[in-house]
Amino acid sequence: MRKYLRFYLVFFLIAYIFLISVTGCQGSTESMKNNDSEMPVQTEIEQESKETYKILHVMSYHTPWEWTETQLQGFKDAMENENIEYKVFEMDTKNFSTDEQKQKKAQEAMELIDSWEPDLLFTGDEDAQEYVARHYVGTSLPIVFSAVNREPKEYGFDGAENVTGVLEHEHFIQNINLLKEIVPDVQDIAVIFDDDPIWQPTEQRMKESISEVESVTLHSWDYIGSFDVYKSRIKELQTEVDAIALIGIFTFKDENGVNVHYRDVLKWTAENSNLPDFSFWKDRVTFGTLSAVSVSGYEQGHAAGLLARQILVEGKSPGSLPILPSMTGEPLINKARADDLGLKIKSKSLLSSEVITEYGWMVSNE
């Protein structure tokens, strides 16, 4: 009898332990399920509780245009995962280039600032600084700029507690080196600007840097106001120099005093000049210029966005963040232009560059 009693006691003890273990696992599993189901809810709540920031982007120029669009996209990517309400104001000063027209656009931008009250002002390129941003220096409005050629002190930005940003310094030496890879015999280069004063700092930096390149001379510096004068000068240069630096090409006026679109300037140049040419921006190569080591609009905007993140999200003072240039250049070659000039480009240069295979005016409806 004792033998059977012992057997039943052991059996019931094992069954009891098994029941407890099964019940416990189910409880733990259920608990884990409950926790898992709560986690997304907590994430959504945290997302909804994030502060929404209002950012006004005043661009000097216009859209559609790759330069302005990539700046804004770079900025937005740097501010990813934050709650941002954006507004964009286009000054469009490449098409409205008189001082009176710029003043009118600036007044509209400042009225928007005063009525909408953004948490941060993001200003791109020169005119947005000259006509808008400088009026808010020393105020409580944080300002982040990008694509500025001039010295910050010219806008009152030096030492300003509410301003920081990104300078646009051209990759001049890299451009010369790429040009010489394509056309090794280049020695004398003519430099062309339109009559916009924003190019003066660029000229100064080019003059300061040219000594770093052997056997290359900057032959002439032309500031030109009309398209007819530009065409005459390009024709003269065919027998004077080995290459042309096409820097400023936006404010050449036609016979009616209207700006000739830069794409039309580049199209005429590609069709009428037999000289290799270069510039500092990607869109020039797209529309006919032979080569460029381009300033990256995306990098300019992205660096500005990182500064804005530190100000809005991390609570840093704009004045504590250094004003620096972006560093990375993008090499580009227009193969269609090279073919028309009869140039044979080494595979090394082609492999290390973005290659444009046709003229932009043949495929673009911008």
pLDDT by residue (tens digit) across 42-61?
A: 345 455 557 999 999 999 99
pLDDT attached to residue 361: 86
In a domain, 181, yes or no: yes
Give residue-wise pLDDT tens across range 264-274.
Answer: 999 999 999 99
Let me know whether 187 and 124 are in one domain. no
pLDDT attached to residue 38: 42
In a domain, 196, yes or no: yes
Comparing CA positions, the residue from 173, 139, 136, 137 lying closest to residue 157 is 137
Let me know whether 142 and 189 are in one domain. no
In a domain, 30, yes or no: no
pLDDT attached to residue 4: 46
pLDDT attached to residue 49: 58
CB distance 124 to 68 below 8 Å: yes
Q: In this structure, what token pair is assigned to residue 180?
A: 């010489």
Alpha helices in the chain (DSSP H): 2-49, 66-78, 99-116, 126-131, 172-182, 200-209, 227-237, 262-272, 282-286, 297-312, 335-340, 347-351
Span of 164-168, 313-317, 361-365 with lowest mean pLDDT: 361-365
Q: What is the mean pLDDT of residues 304-317?
A: 98
Pairwise CA distance, residues 334 & 328, whole Å: 20
**DSSP string spanning 227-258?**
HHHHHHHHHHHTTT-SEEEE---S--B-TTSP
DSSP class of residue 80?
T
Let me know whether 290 and 306 are in one domain. no
Given a cut of 60, is residue 27 above it in pLDDT? no
CB distance 124 to 303 below 8 Å: no
Its sign, for the CA torsion 244, 246, 252, 255, is: positive
Give residue-wise pLDDT tens across range 119-151.
Answer: 999 999 999 999 999 999 999 999 999 999 999
Pairwise CA distance, residues 265 & 94, whole Å: 13
Torsion of CA 352, 353, 355, 361, to 10 degrees: 180
pLDDT attached to residue 14: 52
pLDDT attached to residue 69: 96
In a domain, 22, yes or no: no
Let me know whether 268 and 355 are in one domain. yes
Let me know whether 82 and 118 are in one domain. yes
Q: What is the mean pLDDT of residues 226-246?
A: 98
Give residue-wise pLDDT tens across range 201-219.
Answer: 999 999 999 999 889 999 9
Let me know whether 218 and 86 are in one domain. no
In a domain, 37, yes or no: no
Enumerate the β-bridge partners of residue 90: 59
Q: Please give the C-alpha separations between residue 172 and each of 158, 197, 295, in angstroms, as whole numbers.
A: 25, 19, 10
Pairwise CA distance, residues 86 & 59, whole Å: 13
Let me know whether 224 and 317 are in one domain. no
Let me know whether 85 and 129 are in one domain. yes
By three-state DSSP, how is residue 341 classified? coil
Pairwise CA distance, residues 282 & 265, whole Å: 15
Comparing CA positions, the residue from 260, 248, 254 lying closest to residue 221 is 248
Let me know whether 340 and 218 are in one domain. yes
CATH number, domain at 275?
3.40.50.2300
Domain count, the chain: 2
The chain-wide mean pLDDT, for the chain, equals 89
Given a cut of 90, is residue 26 above it in pLDDT? no
Let me know whether 68 and 88 are in one domain. yes
Let me know whether 290 and 343 are in one domain. yes
Let me know whether 228 and 278 are in one domain. yes
- For residue 76, the enclosing domain spans 52-169+297-325
CB distance 353 to 285 below 8 Å: no
Q: What is the mean pLDDT of residues 104-114?
A: 98
